[in-house]
Amino acid sequence: MIKCPKCKTENPSEMKFCGNCGTKMKQADVVCSKCKTKNKAGSKFCGNCGNKL
C-alpha cells in the first residue's frame, strides 16, 4: 500500500492515481530483500540478482 501525498488515502501500490482525489501517485522504489538494490516500482524480480521481489 502507498499513501497519497495529498489526501493520505491508502491505495494499492500498483495504482498510478489516488482513488480518492486523483493525485498522481509517487511510485516507491522496491528494495530487494537479498542484495538491497533499488528496483523500479512494480518490478517483480530484482534487476541485480534475480530475486523475486
From residue 11 to residue 50, what is the string marking binding to Zn ion with x (rule CB under 5 A)? -------x-xx-x--------x-xx-x--------x-xx-
Q: Which of 6, 16, 24, 26 binds Zn ion (CB under 5 A)?
A: 6
Provide the 8-state DSSP code for 20: T
Residue 36 C-beta: closest distance to Zn ion, Å? 7
Q: Angle CA(6)–CA(8)–CA(9) in degrees, nearest 5? A: 115
Torsion angle defined by CA atoms of residues 19, 3, 26 and 31, in that order, rounded to the nearest 10 degrees: -130
Q: How far is the CB of 14 from Zn ion (least distance, A)?
A: 16
